[in-house]
Amino acid sequence: MPERDVPYLCELAAQLRVDSVRSSAAAGSGHPTSSLSAADLMAVLFAHHLRYDFDDPDNPANDHLIFSKGHASPLLYALFKAAGAITDEEMLTFRKRGSRLEGHPTPRLPWVDVATGSLGQGLPVGVGVALAGRRLDHLPYHVWVLCGDSELAEGSIWEAAEHAAYEGLANITAIIDVNRLGQRGPTRHGWDTGAYARRFGAFGWHTIEVDGHDPGEIDYALSDARKTRRRPTVILARTRKGEGVNAVENREGAHGKPLKDPEHAIYELGGDRGVTVKVSPPDSSRPPHVFDSGPTEWPVFEVGTKAATRTAYGAALKALGAARGDIVAVDGEVADSTKSEEFAHAFPERFFECYIAEQEMVATAVGLQVRRWVPYVSTFAAFLTRAHDFIRMGGVSGANVRIVGSHAGVSIGEDGPSQMGLEDLAMLRAVHGSTVLYPCDANQTAALVTTMADIPGISYLRTTRGDTPVIYDPGERFPVGGSRVLRHSPDDRATVIAAGVTVHEALAAADALKAEGVSVGVVDMYSIKPVDQAVLIEAATTTGNLITVEDHRPEGGLGDAVLDAVSELGPRVIKLTVRGLPGSATPAEQLADAGIDKDAIMAAVRRLL
Amino acid sequence: MPERDVPYLCELAAQLRVDSVRSSAAAGSGHPTSSLSAADLMAVLFAHHLRYDFDDPDNPANDHLIFSKGHASPLLYALFKAAGAITDEEMLTFRKRGSRLEGHPTPRLPWVDVATGSLGQGLPVGVGVALAGRRLDHLPYHVWVLCGDSELAEGSIWEAAEHAAYEGLANITAIIDVNRLGQRGPTRHGWDTGAYARRFGAFGWHTIEVDGHDPGEIDYALSDARKTRRRPTVILARTRKGEGVNAVENREGAHGKPLKDPEHAIYELGGDRGVTVKVSPPDSSRPPHVFDSGPTEWPVFEVGTKAATRTAYGAALKALGAARGDIVAVDGEVADSTKSEEFAHAFPERFFECYIAEQEMVATAVGLQVRRWVPYVSTFAAFLTRAHDFIRMGGVSGANVRIVGSHAGVSIGEDGPSQMGLEDLAMLRAVHGSTVLYPCDANQTAALVTTMADIPGISYLRTTRGDTPVIYDPGERFPVGGSRVLRHSPDDRATVIAAGVTVHEALAAADALKAEGVSVGVVDMYSIKPVDQAVLIEAATTTGNLITVEDHRPEGGLGDAVLDAVSELGPRVIKLTVRGLPGSATPAEQLADAGIDKDAIMAAVRRLL
């Protein structure tokens, strides 16, 4: 960098600081001090290193910039203004009702890849974007992630560090704004950038320690990061929170508050001079790589045989992978159990092994979908709870991610409660914009797996460990929001609503009751969210007696979905669910002990009538 | 260690291997190969280093042993048998219905502190136990945690590593069974113990690399670990999965399966010779430290004023801390927001700052309660999703942990959706054995915080960011499972069920409707789980029209709890909840936009009538 650039970079940084102060003053809230510390870092990045076309945010060649420290949104919006993407007027709508400039950035803004604000998520997601660049798009775009120092305490950062280094991602740079102060007070390591460098270095990263307010050092570090081969780079920048404004500079108690005297702060910063920045566009000459799509053989399971729905997931995912080159799979070192290994063996270049790091696993998928890939993520349903916050934020981002949780419920048998997904339906139903599916047979699973490819937002499919009878013909259609009435007669005195493994218990119960002269209907409610309200209303008004039966806790699952759908009609509803704490036992014993097997359903019907 | 001890240690290890093979053969499932790799490590630990009285598992001076790799349960149970804690007959009930020897260990066994099986949790919890020893009990017990190498990919391990080193916990030793093979295949680093040593070393741990099948090296390492001062120790033991049985030794595809030919394996291992081990009891001469308990001034908020429930939480926690020396508090670097800083300032020795690491935060609390301390854990409700799996496993453990989530709902205002706890009620209600509370005023909060101290299992209290009117007198009682009828008359045409911030909206709506001549009842449903079914049934049978209103997603919250309670009566129920994706706006605008404010309630009443 020529020496003559320094004055401009300082002016640009001052402008970013001025605008951060102005927007948070206008809002009456926000995080100006956390913005001031990173202004020099971002000024140099925008002026000299970022390759981005703000007029074409969908350009595949664009670099990616993720503010992992999402609370520094005033700085991000000041950058957008300096780059000409938003007006000064819009910038001053910060945090106001209806503004797309929210307290923490979301993809309502076309230049924002993912929502941040829950700390420790931007870097893990950035790793996913970088993986897309290196392994899928085959494009040289660079991923820049601005992190705070406080968020380095999050384990998800180290899952990301391990993943990025192991995959040799030289196309990602973490820029750590080491401003020493967290929300409540000093961080564990203060300005000891060496402490962080040792950690990142041990994880295999290239580390650079700089003065985060020296444009020359920053410029050198960013150049070095872009040029580094075979491993990711972390720039540990020693900065001062509130830099440039004496009243708050490097002071405790100034986190997350607008400045008391913004006018004086702007004066101190040299005034509002309207400095802008010209961001260089990327080299768009090379289109992203495309994987072959082609004809495929869809998996077929013969009615009357038995097969595990997780097996059908594996087979369907592999078939889908052959049909569509944009399908990718992500797993957490249990692909032999979830059966995504079928896909992994067929399409190793589109399979992402995240090892036992479920947060990074979901973050990887979120990152891949940023670049329009179509990820399926699988692990045990129980261990998805590990990634709950990432799934929640995926919902806020509107991320299109398909999640498949295997080994659901007590029906896994001997392994015991630690391995049983018993809260997954509650967790996934409560995610904004989610779809929740729970098939009972292999052909239904295959159909739903295929359908999921085009479901927007977070979608979830729950699979079962053991074999279940195949009851549907191959090729049948199962629309989202639908259900299947499996037993029905005008004599029905109750209707059993089941999903997954309990469908087969319900059928057995209905058949046994029939033999006793009691007729009950059975509905396969494979779509838990949205739920088939029409069929439920029909059942509620005809039989008036509903029994829901699910391999899940009483709260937030199938039973609650049914109650919600029929609440205005007032049928009598009995919920059969897993209420106790299971131990080890065979699958059949588990279903019996939980009171969700054939006998329990029959007893519930008798109780109801 | 004298050379003459080696033959015995080898025999003991062989016996542990034989018993691991026998129990999993009898069960027909389980993880013998993951047990075989760690047998030498545990043989030396039990014979020479563990200080534990198996006849008195509640002895405060006992060391603690946590199998973070819970799937190595056959080895753990073989150790219990060798130490005389269980019989051979019981050992062979492994994984059978009704046996306390489950697939993964749980505290149904008195020598097991916490349930494991979800990987990456044992070390974080062990750090909590070690913190209790160093900072609360002032006892020299040592915490030994056996980890697998695969689970080192979990970010929670690195949260624990950071926490333990920062706190200078020399009383914890992580023993890593580096057997190179995960479930699906090789781990990232294989036998490169140096890769792990660099990472732990960078995080501030004392590291020792050993041959995990050499009793002499193991003994030296364990001695060194016990003697090390000022920092935790990690022993990185290079082992072979399936060690001692040729058919599975160091082979892929042998994870989580009983051996095909157990008899031959036992023969190879030298046969079943009934070797036992005498574990030395601890020095019990010193009782655990006790903090002063005493009289206290309970916080008082005047009716008619306004105060935030989070403020009341802070005040009540401080008062409780003065009243009871066993109360401790844990926070995730937001104590100034959650208000647990009141307690932190008053009782710094009983306050645990976990920085922004929510998994380690909950794990710390679980570890502290292992030693009978009474932890309150607080962070933003939204960020509790980060620790969902730890809370879930806490439920499996029957851990007595009080969780307080602040900044619930859209009512936080401008910060936007990333900071809004909108799924917390669904998450916490679905946890086994949980209690869920949601107060609407400061005095109610103070009462419930006090009550929580004696609630077994996982209990949760939800607090609000902004000030709410004080409507209850100080000192009023609010039993778990109760509710308060705030408006009621024989003319009521509907009943509004609210909790927390919406109680005040409901009261305002009822009063405005009253002025219009429409009488509606209002219930403050501060106990969401268990819910006051009697009051709901009364409302359902008298008015027949219920309106639930909550600052939460439609799934799994107050509305669903109400529907579940009255499902057999069939009242008409309208659920007012947060259905869209909020942006930034003022708290009042947020409540209006979500349709859960006074006007929305009035509109719902009109719609219903």
Domain regions of chain A by residue span: 5-106+116-268, 306-469, 484-608
Tell me which residue in B100, B382, B573 faces A118 most closely, judged by beta carbons. B382
Return the sign of the alpha-carbon dihedral for residues A582, A584, A586, A589.
negative
Nearest CA-CA distance, residue A375 and chain B, Å: 20
| pLDDT tier for residue A461 given thresholds of 50, 70 and 90 | very high
Q: Among A456, A439, A469, A466, which residue's Cα sits nearest to residue A558? A: A439
Nearest CA-CA distance, residue B572 and chain A, Å: 4
| pLDDT tier for residue B156 given thresholds of 50, 70 and 90 | very high
pLDDT for the residue numbered B80: 98
Tell me whether residues B102 and A416 touch, CB distance under 8 A: yes
| pLDDT tier for residue B323 given thresholds of 50, 70 and 90 | very high
Burial class of residue A370 (count of CB atoms within 10 Å of its CB; 0-12, 13-18, 19+): buried
Tell me which residue in A333, A382, A433 faces B182 most closely, judged by beta carbons. A333
| Closest residue in chain A to residue B355, using alpha carbons only | A153
B468-489 burial, b for 16+ CB within 10 Å, e for fewer? bbbbbeeeeebebebbbebbbe
| pLDDT tier for residue A327 given thresholds of 50, 70 and 90 | very high
Strand partners, A172: A143
Catalytic residue chosen out of the listed positions A151, A159, A353, A358: A358
Tell me whether residues A430 and B393 touch, CB distance under 8 A: no
| Closest residue in chain A to residue B560, using alpha carbons only | A560
- Is the per-residue pLDDT at B295 higher than 90? no
Task: Specify the length of chain A in residues.
Answer: 609
Prior bond to B530 cis, omega within 30?
yes
| pLDDT tier for residue B218 given thresholds of 50, 70 and 90 | very high
Tell me whether residues B556 and A560 touch, CB distance under 8 A: yes
**What's the whole-number mean pLDDT along residues A24-49?**
98
Tell me whether residues B355 and A150 touch, CB distance under 8 A: yes
Tell me whether residues A584 and B96 touch, CB distance under 8 A: yes
Residue A516: partners with Cβ closer than 8 Å, 6 or more residues away: none
Tell me whether residues A426 and B555 touch, CB distance under 8 A: yes
pLDDT digits (tens, 9 = 90+) for A345-389: 999 999 999 999 999 999 999 999 999 999 999 999 999 999 999
Chain A residue numbers touching B119 (CB-CB < 8 A): 356
Q: How far apart are CA B498 and CA B510, in angstroms?
A: 12
Contact B366, A212 (CB under 8 A): no
Element counts in chain A: helices (H) and strands (E):
22, 19
Using DSSP, state whether B402 is helix, strand or coil: strand
pLDDT digits (tens, 9 = 90+) for B256-287: 999 999 999 999 999 999 999 999 999 999 99
- Is the per-residue pLDDT at B2 higher than 90? no
Q: How far apart are CA B31 and CA B94, in angstroms?
A: 12
The structure tokens listed for B71 are: 């799937």
Instruction: Identify the architecture of domain A484-608 in CATH.
Output: 3-Layer(aba) Sandwich (3.40)
pLDDT for the residue numbered B1: 79
Tell me whether residues A184 and B383 touch, CB distance under 8 A: no
CA atoms within 13 A on the CB side of A253: 2
CATH code reported for the domain at B306-469:
3.40.50.970
| Closest residue in chain A to residue B72, using alpha carbons only | A415
Tell me whether residues B585 and A96 touch, CB distance under 8 A: yes
Q: How far apart are CA B405 and CA B412, in angstroms?
A: 13
* Helix or strand (DSSP H, E) at B341: helix B341-346
- Is the per-residue pLDDT at A99 higher than 90? yes
Tell me whether residues B575 and A593 touch, CB distance under 8 A: no
Q: How far apart are CA B184 and CA A353, in angstroms?
A: 10
Contact A492, A520 (CB under 8 A): yes
Q: How far apart are CA A583 and CA A224, in angstroms?
A: 55
**What's the whole-number mean pLDDT along residues B420-444?**
98
Q: How far apart are CA A337 and CA A354, in angstroms?
A: 15
Q: Among A257, A262, A261, A215, which residue's Cα sits nearest to residue A239? A: A215
B467-469 and B64-67 as β-strands: parallel, antiparallel, unpaired? unpaired
Chain A residue numbers touching B423 (CB-CB < 8 A): 388, 392, 427, 430-431
Q: Do domains A5-106+116-268 and A484-608 have the same CATH topology?
A: yes
Chain B residue numbers touching A257 (CB-CB < 8 A): none
Mean pLDDT score of chain B, rounded to an integer? 97
- Is the per-residue pLDDT at A40 higher than 90? yes
Contact B480, B447 (CB under 8 A): no
Q: How far apart are CA B450 and CA B33, in angstroms?
A: 48
For an interface test with B, give the residue of A334, A423, A428 to mutate (most B CBs within 10 A): A423
Residue A86: partners with Cβ closer than 8 Å, 6 or more residues away: A77, A80, A101
- Whole-angstrom CA distances from B24 to A342, A426, B15, B27, B277 are 28, 34, 14, 5, 21
Contact A37, A149 (CB under 8 A): no
pLDDT digits (tens, 9 = 90+) for A141-161: 999 999 999 999 999 999 999
Q: How far apart are CA A18 and CA A12, in angstroms?
A: 10
Q: Among A57, A34, A59, A147, which residue's Cα sits nearest to residue A109? A: A57
According to DSSP, residue A462 is labeled: E
* B414 labelled catalytic: no
pLDDT for the residue numbered B569: 82
* Helix or strand (DSSP H, E) at A379: strand A374-380
pLDDT digits (tens, 9 = 90+) for B528-562: 999 999 999 999 999 989 999 999 999 999 999 99
The overall longest dimension of chain B from CA atoms, in Å, is 93
Q: What is the pTM of this model?
A: 0.98
Q: Among A392, A395, A384, A394, which residue's Cα sits nearest to residue A357? A: A384
% of chain A at pLDDT higher than 70: 100
Q: How far apart are CA A447 and CA A486, in angstroms?
A: 18
Nearest CA-CA distance, residue B87 and chain A, Å: 19
Tell me which residue in B95, B418, B572 faces A393 most closely, judged by beta carbons. B418
For an interface test with B, give the residue of A386, A563, A573 to mutate (most B CBs within 10 A): A386
Instruction: Identify the architecture of domain A5-106+116-268 in CATH.
Output: 3-Layer(aba) Sandwich (3.40)
Catalytic residue chosen out of the listed positions B151, B209, B358, B505: B358
The structure tokens listed for A106 are: 């979301």
- Is the per-residue pLDDT at B464 higher than 90? yes
According to DSSP, residue A280 is labeled: B
pLDDT digits (tens, 9 = 90+) for B334-369: 999 999 999 999 999 999 999 999 999 999 999 999
Chain A residue numbers touching B568 (CB-CB < 8 A): 572-573
Chain B residue numbers touching A359 (CB-CB < 8 A): 155
For an interface test with B, give the residue of A167, A345, A560 to mutate (most B CBs within 10 A): A560
- Whole-angstrom CA distances from B88 to A252, A492, B272 are 61, 53, 11
ipTM of the complex: 0.98
The structure tokens listed for B417 are: 């959706």
Chain B residue numbers touching A201 (CB-CB < 8 A): 202
For an interface test with B, give the residue of A24, A101, A156, A184 to mutate (most B CBs within 10 A): A184
Q: What is the DSSP string of A3-69?
A: TTHHHHHHHHHHHHHHHHHHHHHHHT-S-HHHHHTTHHHHHHIIIII-B--TT-TT-TT--EEEESS
Using DSSP, state whether A238 is helix, strand or coil: strand
* Helix or strand (DSSP H, E) at A587: helix A587-594
Prior bond to A530 cis, omega within 30?
yes
